[in-house]
Structure 1
Amino acid sequence: ADMGVHLADVHIACMGIEKLIPRRNDLGVFLRLLARSATGQAITNYTSHFRGPEKGKQIHLILVDNGRTEQLGREKFRNSLKCIRCGACMNTCPIYRRSGGFSYQSTVPGPIGSILSPGLDLKKYSSLPFASTLCGSCTDVCPVKINIHEQLYEWRQEITKANPNHAESLSMKLASGIFKSPLAYRISGILMRKLIKNLPDSLIYNPWNVWGKGRKLPETPQESFRNWYLNHRKNEQ
């Protein structure tokens, strides 16, 4: 990397406007913070510093906006620009730990990408804020204290307002009714276990089911956790 920079007559570097730091003294803090949050190292293996071009050569620094100013103007989401790209939120996320960083086709992976990407294209990345359990683990490990899970929730509200899904609203009302009734919940559990077992794979994994292209449903349990618990309790007694 350094050789490529020194050999070139013209060095052109691009950086986001949010990567500027107040003082040179702050650089050491960020370098240690980044490495420890990303891989647990005390500091990065190497860091390059460029102060100015050699005689007869040029250095050009391009500050990229690309939607950052617009994100800064969103009071609920401006805190996301503090990200230092350490990846701690992705490492701890129960969803991204299993699916991989780039499984949802976003340039910036992980939970932080799920709150940055909708700001660039709400329609294209409308599913990202919903690919989360809102457990808050990402917020807990974030070294720069970004309230990631709260912003995920806020984006869900914004996306639902912009693109109301009546079929989903109906299904949520149906699910709410089932969850409110213990009897309805148990009966629906029995019916669904039998239904999924007898469904042919072609009905679940087909070109119309985008979710099923790279994923597979877990094996259906023989009984519910409640029945399993009651049976084991009887055996213990």
Structure 2
Amino acid sequence: MQYIRKITFIKDERAQAGIGTLIIFIAMVLVAAVAAAVLIQTSGVLQQKAQETGQQTIQEVSSNIEIVGIVGHRVSATANDFETINITVKPMAGSGPIDLYQMVIAIQNETKRIESIKYIPDTQAASQTSTQFYVVELRDDDDSLNASTTTTTVINAGDLINIVLKPGTEMDFPTREPVRIEIKPEHGAAVIKDLITPPSYSVERNVVLFP
């Protein structure tokens, strides 16, 4: 007598669930990888923007011009006004190029203020007014400045120039008089120099106002 063996197949759903979990895990890893890549790229862009903003902020708030000396020139030994004022300046260490054509200067005493004094080529010095200045090159090793033009007007680190103002008879400078000179470059903080004229000019026609 033959026996018929009954074979029963057991349906195991655990393997199917494991494959589903693996698929979900792989999907999560891929999503996390994409998110990480986006975050890294975004952080890099933000860091670059922050550095650029920081550099611009430093450039805007820091002064990049140093006043070395100021001398007033009187037309006579008895005059109370300065025909011209020479301001010797140089770029500060670490400063970038300074465009003199974009620079604006102001000068004032207790009774008068002359502002918006702007650059002119030295070829126009003979017709200079109180609202104009020209420069004299004292040191310019890289030839970044040509004082006779309005196109090559940049000074760099190591350069030294005289800025020539002409207040003339429009502004008196009696002895013991407060004087303020403001130099405003295109970038960076304005340079402000407060002075007091000497107690006596004696017979000197060239009067040292600073240092």
Q: What TM-score bracket applies, with the shorter chain setting the length?
A: under 0.3
Structure number with the bigger relative contact order (C-alpha 8 A, sep ≥ 6) is 2
Max radius of gyration: which structure?
Answer: 2
- Structure number with higher helix proportion: 1
Q: Which has the higher strand share?
A: 2
Query: Normalization by structure 2: what TM-score?
Result: 0.21
